[in-house]
Structure 1
Amino acid sequence: MTNVRIGFVGVGSMGQCAHLKNYVTVADCQVVALAELREELGKKVAARYGVPRVYRHHEEMLAQEKLDGIVASQPFTRHGLLVPELLKVGVPVFTEKPLAGSLEVGERIVEAVRKSGTWHMVGYHKRSDPATMYAKAEIERLKQTGELGKLRYVRIIMPAGDWVAGGFNDLIRSDDPLPKLDYDPPASDMDEKLYQKYVEFVNYYIHQVNLMRHLLGEPYQVSYADPSGVLLIVQSASGVAGTIEMSPYTTTIDWQESALVAFEHGYVKLDLPAPLASNRPGRVEIFRDPGNGATPQTIVPQLPWIHAMRQQAINFVRAIKGEIKPLCEAEEALEDLRVARQYIRLLTGR
């Protein structure tokens, strides 16, 4: 495969500024078409980014184009309606996180993936940040060598802040009326108020739920939900403790998300930038204090000037070409929805 032919379904704010503007700069990738219900917006976006063909409906695009992959940036509460349709084409599909707005819908999507013979990559862009990729490799190496002892604890903190970081400055707008969309049904085991609480949690904190498993390298269960809604405590399959701190404070013009992965004699610390920050990777700090007279060391590796959304686009294209595995597929993303349901049940008793 030479150029990977990508079709876009939806080029609203995230479709443009998180995804399209990155894909059009990826080597060996060509965005050949887009589908956008807002006709004026579709034409303006296509003109800006050099996309040769524009369709009103994704059905038209799928019927006319020979694609190698599909990027669908849509509200996650309509993934259950859209994703199975896209999978019928038999090419890989990328969507934003989370997989769906409920476990039931997520399960239907996973079943559709299994029947399609292809795969569905869910956009947990933090996994694609060069800092996360470096930290993950180092964590796995330390677990294998045992040079800093056993893995003991993972702490993730995500204070709400300026997640956009100027990322919408070049957003193309139009005067098109907002289209009327159909959405997935709510979860059958929750009333309206509880379902809204669940949807809010997976919208705001599912990245951290996923990142916890990624850093641990194994599944985990939620063991405690603090009534304040600030703290979630987990225990991994091998007994490692973990916490997710959810907006214990907020910032207005900064983003201060971080993860601490603690071993007995050191740690790997990961600082992540705002999701839409450009040309800026996260930061990794590695502390080693093995004892026995050895001098403690703190190492901060220099990382390439690549932001997570761009690296995520590169990773999706590479996965289509068979060079790497998709970083997070639908089946694993379904586990995030299960963890979220555990948390809400512990928090509310329902």
Structure 2
Amino acid sequence: MEKLKIGFVGVGGMGQMAHLSNYAVLSEQCEVVALAEVRPQMAQLVADRYGIPQVFSSHQDLLNGVKVDAIVAPQQYRSHHAIIPDIIRAGIPVFTEKPMSLTVETGEQLVQLAEEHRALHMVGYHKRSDPAMEHARKRIEEWKSSGEYGKLQYIRVTMPPGDWIGGADAPLTSDEPYPFIPMEPGPAYFSDEQTNQLDSFVNYYIHQVNAIRFLLQEPYRVTFADRGGFLLTGESESGVTVVLEMAPYQTTIEWNESLQVCFEKGYVRVDLPPPLARQQAGKVTIMKDNGKEPPSYEHPIMPNRSAMRQQAMNFIAAVQGVRPAPCESKEALEDLKLARDYIRMMQQYQ
């Protein structure tokens, strides 16, 4: 299978640390052949560092100037509406950061475009690609299928603020001012305060909203939102209760994100590393107590591969048709709907 020719649209801090640094070492699967960056000094610094042969000043120039098999566009999500439609209309598979937009309405437009142009739009929920999360999902599927450990009945996710950098090296920078890009406005039916709350929620916690569905393997809806913004509860179509604890406390030198999937006779728990930790997977704990055998704890060994590296591998595989993308735009739209409903419900108590 031939190497994919990949273009990058945006090579700021996250573009370098979370994405470009991972694609650059997957030299047997892909080659980064071009980048588009509105800051010329930054563009050349990054191109020189990673040996990228072609540099463009805009995504449109890249689309017109070079043939690529896929594009990685690690833009701030409120600028997606101004950039991503052009890539999709060109029929090029594209990867974007989470969420795919601020509002449901823009999300619906992006989904429609992807369907019309038959273009893959993978949304960067990297937690789905963590080897520990992939392992946990398979185990959950096995337990649901066998029924040996009873019904799936409860999912609890905790994500306090902490050191999300995890010791990662600083990205290349320049002192160039960042050109103005119009940000996606909030929903017409939200006040400025509600839009600010929505923006904060999707920026920090949309990963967990998505991860719950990934482990749950079915849709769910919001049933309660406290006015302080600490707790979201929900219920799935089959009646599973889900809980997301947001900022119950904070840490300065650790990252304490955990996801626990509870059956009647055991649980599957994942403890995740800082998002930018280098080549470190999460940890899985499996507790089993089916009443037939002595209770036990299992700690499967994960590979030394980060979620970001695995995510890059998953995007390449999806473009090549080897396996489906972990999360396409149509499913990511459900996260925006749930976020909208959460803000509405939280406002009821204020």
Read off the aligned partner of 2:239 and give its amino acid letter: G
1:184 Cα deviation after fit: 1.9
Q: Which runs of 5+ in 1 are unaligned?
A: none
Question: What is the DSSP-based 3-state SS (H/G/I as helix, E as strand, rest coil) of the residue aligned with 2:43?
Answer: helix
Q: Which segments of structure 1 move beyond 6 Å, counting only runs of 4 or more?
A: none
Counterpart in the other structure of 1:99: 100
Counterpart in the other structure of 2:333: 334
C-alpha separation in 2, matches of 1:247 and 1:193: 20
Counterpart in the other structure of 1:311: 310
C-alpha separation in 2, matches of 1:193 and 1:320: 40
C-alpha separation in 2, matches of 1:87 and 1:236: 32
1:182 Cα deviation after fit: 1.7
Counterpart in the other structure of 2:253: 253
After superposition, where does 1:50-65 map in structure 2 within 5 Å?
Answer: 50-65=51-66
Counterpart in the other structure of 1:132: 133
Counterpart in the other structure of 1:223: 223
C-alpha separation in 1, matches of 2:12 and 2:235: 39
C-alpha separation in 1, matches of 2:90 and 2:17: 26
With the length of structure 1 as denominator, give the TM-score of the two structures: 0.98
What percent identity do the matched residue pairs reach? 48
Counterpart in the other structure of 2:204: 204
Counterpart in the other structure of 1:192: 192
Read off the aligned partner of 2:276 and give its amino acid letter: L
Counterpart in the other structure of 2:12: 12
Read off the aligned partner of 1:146 and give its amino acid letter: G
Counterpart in the other structure of 1:117: 118
With the length of structure 2 as denominator, give the TM-score of the two structures: 0.98
Read off the aligned partner of 1:272 and give its amino acid letter: L
Answer whether contact 1:130 1:307 (CA < 8 A) is retained. yes
C-alpha separation in 2, matches of 1:112 and 1:25: 32
User: How many residues matched?
Assistant: 348
C-alpha separation in 2, matches of 1:342 and 1:180: 31
C-alpha separation in 2, matches of 1:170 and 1:105: 32
Answer whether contact 1:80 1:108 (CA < 8 A) is retained. no
Counterpart in the other structure of 2:89: 88
Answer whether contact 2:120 2:319 (CA < 8 A) is retained. no
| Structure 1 residues 208 and 318: CA distance shift in structure 2, 3 A | same
C-alpha separation in 2, matches of 1:79 and 1:17: 20
1:176 Cα deviation after fit: 1.6
Counterpart in the other structure of 2:79: 78
Answer whether contact 1:126 1:132 (CA < 8 A) is retained. yes
Q: Which runs of 5+ in 2 are unaligned?
A: none
Answer whether contact 2:103 2:187 (CA < 8 A) is retained. yes
C-alpha separation in 2, matches of 1:212 and 1:99: 17
Quote the RMSD (CA, aligned, Å): 1.0
Read off the aligned partner of 1:98 and give its amino acid letter: P
C-alpha separation in 2, matches of 1:300 and 1:24: 32
Answer whether contact 2:289 2:295 (CA < 8 A) is retained. yes
C-alpha separation in 1, matches of 2:244 and 2:193: 23
1:227-280 superposed Cα distances (whole Å, 9 cap, x missing partner): 221111110000000100001010001000001100010000000011000111
1:104 Cα deviation after fit: 1.0
C-alpha separation in 1, matches of 2:221 and 2:157: 15
